[in-house]
Amino acid sequence: MKGLMMHFPLTVPSILEYGNRVFPSKQVVTLLPNGSLHRYAFADLYRRSRRLSEVLRLRWNIAPGDRIATFAWNQYQHLELYYAIPGAGAVCHPLNIRLSVSQIAWIINDAQDKVIFIDASLVPVFEKVIPMLDHVPDFVIINADKDFKAGFRFMHYEDLELDTPATQDWVAADEDDACGMCYTTGTTGEPKGVLYSHRSTYLHAMSIMSPNAFNISMHDTALLIVPQFHVMAWGFPYVCILAGANMIMPSSHLQSQAIVQLIQQEKVTIANGVPAIWLQVLDYLKKNPPAEKLTLREFFVGGSAVPESLLQGFDELFGIRGVHAWGMTETSPLGTISRLQPHHERLSPDAQRKIRSKQGIEMPAVELRLIKEDGTIAARDGETTGEFEIRGAWVAGRYYNSEAHSDQAFVDGWFKTGDVGTIDPDGYMLITDRKKDLIKSGGEWISSIALETALVAHPSIKEACVIAVPDAKWAERPLACIVIEDGTTVSPDDLKTFLKGSFASFQVPDQYVVMQEIPKTSVGKLNKKALRKLYQEGELKPVK
Amino acid sequence: MKGLMMHFPLTVPSILEYGNRVFPSKQVVTLLPNGSLHRYAFADLYRRSRRLSEVLRLRWNIAPGDRIATFAWNQYQHLELYYAIPGAGAVCHPLNIRLSVSQIAWIINDAQDKVIFIDASLVPVFEKVIPMLDHVPDFVIINADKDFKAGFRFMHYEDLELDTPATQDWVAADEDDACGMCYTTGTTGEPKGVLYSHRSTYLHAMSIMSPNAFNISMHDTALLIVPQFHVMAWGFPYVCILAGANMIMPSSHLQSQAIVQLIQQEKVTIANGVPAIWLQVLDYLKKNPPAEKLTLREFFVGGSAVPESLLQGFDELFGIRGVHAWGMTETSPLGTISRLQPHHERLSPDAQRKIRSKQGIEMPAVELRLIKEDGTIAARDGETTGEFEIRGAWVAGRYYNSEAHSDQAFVDGWFKTGDVGTIDPDGYMLITDRKKDLIKSGGEWISSIALETALVAHPSIKEACVIAVPDAKWAERPLACIVIEDGTTVSPDDLKTFLKGSFASFQVPDQYVVMQEIPKTSVGKLNKKALRKLYQEGELKPVK
């Protein structure tokens, strides 16, 4: 027997309808690439997005399911696109501006984007992409001066006349229709598209609002540092509208000084970002202590493991709480979040930070399990290691246009994350490694992440990355690539002695390579794939 | 084009699966009808509910869609039924123990409940219902002594052996399947069944968790005063499991002393209840000031309009915040909630309480509109009056088994609430009256609620209820029924003078009836229908 409740589809336009109805005066503030501040209200975002949605249909004949790409910063026009595109029944596809030109072209060709909206400041990058496209999208440039020149035909965003009142309503969508798309590049293989639905986007936004997650209310002002081209800025463009939180958009101004100024000027209470950003902000704040306590209450940090020292610095020096969360492009992204439970309150701050730097507990409507090498489910004992598998209401079920990768990653209704670790009896996920980055030496696992974390704790080491290299006797051995702090020195023997305090002998790397810089991926992660390639090519010379 | 996300149905058993996985040690504490304290963990609730779900199928052949009723207090066994029944694919149907015997029988006959679970303390009431049933359900009695006698065949809940491990999984449900049922009695007509779905129940629970709503987290301990037989205890049996909040169940112990003791002993942080309960608790606390500040952070109050004096008493004397919410059986129930917005913070406490005693702003996934008498939509200007219509993801679309009532109440995809009032420019709903309780005198509306609120502010008046009575000249006139405080006196002329300070002359009642007590409905609301009947029968004599 069916329930007798209304059919009320959870759609992206209904999020903005809500924001316009209930929080019309809440603000969207953008520090534009040219340094000027743009400020308007949710009611303006609504009005212009409705009109843009209509313009997409009138001018480009956009039909349900068409992909429309963006190549832009966190800015109000990008928000308008986030709502206007799904509101036209189409798929909003933010392109990662940090990828290589050939990757960007590959992705556009795979998605067959029909129109691409580009910020003027990013045109020089994009011009190199154009010759590699296999089709001819239309282009719209945002924030261009009247006499702006580009090496391709375009129209001005400002000429779309978005202040004209809309006459058409949103295109009615089924909640399972696609509304957004992000490609995951990972560190291996070709990019893979994840196709979000209206429903998954809505449920994810509703869920991350809760006090156990990001705890966002109408009393908050959120600074969106995570780019809109990284997993939909972790859902902030949606949740802020549902929660009635003001949104502060820094566009290209991601230097610590600009971030701190925005926090002070706009009285920001929450913000999101990767550890690299927060490490820089912490460093900046140490050197430039604010005259008044910052309004920032909490910052959310994810994308890679969070160093305890980062949490400690903000805790002790500025009374600001860092909250670590974990997810992937395939998980919308929030899978877990690491907040303390009441019985942790009696622990010392250090012991608490050990828990807070774990990946945390599952969100409702998300289910995590740990699969051992023998295929059975591992106990949640904090010791048994396995690969994390996840399923849930905002977890991808397939990749777009990629059957082979889908068959590998999505098995029996679960997504195989490739992350390896444990779940403790309190339910906290701890990632110890990426599956392919684990080092198996003489039949025993060595965690490259554990070694990296230990190495960077050495006063002479600025960066460290450990990869597996082939070894005749032990099958694999760890190789440590390190960047040395200016004005210091350190020898392999020093490091071996240093590591032996915390690791079994077999776990300590024998070989050390000193580098100027560790290669990074487009999202700033250590690029182990590139290091392995350098090693194979004989480019990595261990120090004697 | 469809999104490529997993199919993850939002079901009631998946709520308990989550609670068991992530918060297995969180507590359910029941003060049983016999005064003993029962205490167990979410993991126990999970284990026993899974087993009970299996027992329902094995012993009674429960099939998907069957209705199973409860006649019980807020107690752990009732929670087990809340999960076990939907987990067997059936519909959990809590019967309102406060209704008249004939109404209860009518409802059971309408729902055709197959099994009924009754708390031993309620058997004397239920015995009177049995002869009026048109079918023979099976009966199970909870908390009965071994030698318990009843005037009907029954089995003991304790004999179901719920500590035996379950071997079968939950019955897989579609999220649109029915999982729960409540009858609304209102004040007119026969009871009408509302049939909740797994999806509506899940979404409502997820939504009320948010900081703009009830703001429930794993740091909370919730006291469930709203009975499980009133609109599913406002969703608390579900949201507490999702949030990881301890649940304190008072069963039949609803006296102020017991409530305050539970709050102190279990360190309760949040609780829900109708205004009548909180007025009594406030009164008790005034007479018995607690030695230490109560841990209670907020209480949620709904079911009828909240007096500002109630909010003020808790604010000023005990530093506890009352948060008013509005909803109906048809809305699961939460439709709106009244929290202040940031720009209200500069107002005086009194001005803030004027806003806090409004019904508040819409929840996400709920949409409110105001329909004027001419059928057009009223502006959100705080002045234009209309009838509230609502639609949303947890709003009923039809009544069970009641086509005529459904056709009247559910029109064009909206539910006509029968409540009349305004929405202010900040989006706050203010109910000024029930549609049928408005008094139209000489072509002008008079709000009976406004008069009642004013009258009870008079020091000599304990209770007041204003009804419309026919009048030859003005069509209708207000009649005020009042209960006078012991040891005081007041005359109609005093009251007219008193009211003229706040009302237009035509709005002031000419006639006053002094009563020992105002008749109440089963849920404690003023029973205007009964008063009107008394008036028609000549039983109400106005004072000279």
The enclosing domain of B504 has a CATH number of: 3.30.300.30
Q: Any residues with CB less than 8 A from the CB of B332 and at least 6 apart, and which?
A: B196, B200, B201, B204, B231, B232, B235, B394, B395
Q: Which of A11, A30, A70, A184 is catalytic?
A: A184
B175: left (phi over 0), alpha (psi -120 to 50) or beta: alpha
**Residue with tokens 């949303």, as numbered in its chain:** B392
Query: B112-121 pLDDT, tens per residue?
Result: 999 999 999 9
Q: Any residues with CB less than 8 A from the CB of B294 and at least 6 apart, and which?
A: B260, B263, B264, B318, B320
Q: Is residue A94 part of a domain?
A: no
Asked if B430 and B358 count as a contact pair (C-beta separation under 8 A), the reply is yes
Q: Is residue A442 part of a domain?
A: yes
Q: What is the sign, positive or negative, of the torsion defined by CA atoms of A239, B301, B451, B440?
A: positive
**Is residue A376 annotated as a catalytic residue, yes or no?**
no
Query: A117-167 pLDDT, tens per residue?
Result: 999 999 999 999 999 999 999 999 999 999 999 999 999 999 999 999 999
Chain A residue with minimum CA distance to B412:
A6
Chain A residue with minimum CA distance to B413:
A6
Contact B211 A211 (CB under 8 A): yes
* Neighbour-count burial for A411-429, b at 16+ CB within 10 Å, e otherwise: eeebbbbbbbbbbeebbbb
Q: Return the number of CB contacts < 8 Å for A and B.
A: 201
Residue A188 reports pLDDT greater than 60 = no
Report pLDDT for A445.
61
SS (H, E, C) B436-455: HHCEEECCEEECHHHHHHHH
Rounded CA separation B183/B69 (Å): 12
Q: Any residues with CB less than 8 A from the CB of B382 and at least 6 apart, and which?
A: B422, B423, B424, B425, B430
Chain A residue with minimum CA distance to B428:
A22
DSSP 8-state secondary structure symbol assigned to residue A216: -
Report pLDDT for B444.
60
Residues of B in contact with A399 (CB under 8 A): 4
Q: Any residues with CB less than 8 A from the CB of A136 and at least 6 apart, and which?
A: none
Measured torsion, CA atoms of residues A15, A21, A23, A24, in degrees rounded to the nearest 10 = 110
Contact A22 B400 (CB under 8 A): no
* Neighbour-count burial for B297-322, b at 16+ CB within 10 Å, e otherwise: ebbbbbbbbbbbebbbbbbeebebbb
pLDDT > 90 fraction of chain B, expressed in percent and rounded: 83
DSSP for A134-156? SS--EEEEES--TT---SS--EE
Provide the CA A524 distance to its chain's centre, in angstroms.
Answer: 11
Rounded CA separation B183/B400 (Å): 9
Query: B230-276 pLDDT, tens per residue?
Result: 999 999 999 999 999 999 999 999 999 999 999 999 999 999 999 88
Residue A437 reports pLDDT greater than 80 = no
Query: A357-411 pLDDT, tens per residue?
Result: 999 999 999 999 999 989 999 999 999 999 999 999 999 999 999 998 899 999 9
CA–CA min distance B65, chain A (Å): 5
Mutation pick from A2, A8, A369 vs chain B, by most beta carbons of B within 10 Å, is: A8
Rounded CA separation A246/A312 (Å): 28
Catalytic residues of B: 184, 330, 440, 445
Residues of B in contact with A393 (CB under 8 A): 5-6, 8, 10
Chain A residue with minimum CA distance to B342:
A219
pTM attached to this predicted model: 0.88
Could you tell me which residues are beta bridge partners of residue A338?
A: A324
ipTM value > 0.90: no
CA–CA min distance A395, chain B (Å): 6
Rounded CA separation A173/A53 (Å): 13
Pick the closest to residue A237 from A10, A19, A8 (CA basis). Answer: A19
Q: Which of A286, A372, A440, A500 is catalytic?
A: A440
DSSP 8-state secondary structure symbol assigned to residue A317: I
Rounded CA separation B241/B446 (Å): 45
Contact B397 A7 (CB under 8 A): yes
pLDDT band at A466, cuts 50/70/90? very high
Provide the CA B518 distance to its chain's centre, in angstroms.
Answer: 21
Facing A3 at nearest CB: one of B195, B216, B367:
B195
pLDDT band at A436, cuts 50/70/90? low
How many distinct structural domains can be found in chain A? 1
Contact A210 B243 (CB under 8 A): yes
Provide the domain limits for residue B461: 438-536
Q: Is residue A479 part of a domain?
A: yes
Report pLDDT for B522.
83
CA–CA min distance A523, chain B (Å): 24
Query: A517-529 pLDDT, tens per residue?
Result: 999 988 788 898 8
Tell me the two tokens of residue A294. 């910052």
Tell me the two tokens of residue B29. 């504490």
CA–CA min distance B209, chain A (Å): 6
Q: Is residue B380 part of a domain?
A: no
Residues of B in contact with A397 (CB under 8 A): 4-7
Facing A364 at nearest CB: one of B219, B242, B398:
B242
Contact A1 B65 (CB under 8 A): yes
Q: Is residue B488 part of a domain?
A: yes
Q: What is the mean pLDDT of residues B356-379?
A: 96
pLDDT band at A543, cuts 50/70/90? confident
Contact B243 A212 (CB under 8 A): yes
Rounded CA separation A481/A518 (Å): 8
Q: Is residue B192 part of a domain?
A: no
* Neighbour-count burial for A354-384, b at 16+ CB within 10 Å, e otherwise: ebbbbbbbbbbbbbbbbbeeeeeebebeeee
Q: Is residue A449 part of a domain?
A: yes
Q: Is residue A379 part of a domain?
A: no
Residue A498 reports pLDDT greater than 60 = yes
CA–CA min distance B539, chain A (Å): 42
**Residue with tokens 């190549």, as numbered in its chain:** A71
Residues of B in contact with A329 (CB under 8 A): none
Report pLDDT for B169.
97
pLDDT band at A187, cuts 50/70/90? very low
Query: A271-287 pLDDT, tens per residue?
Result: 999 988 999 999 999 99
How many CB atoms are closer than 10 A to CB B472? 6
Over the Cα atoms of chain B, what is R_g? 24
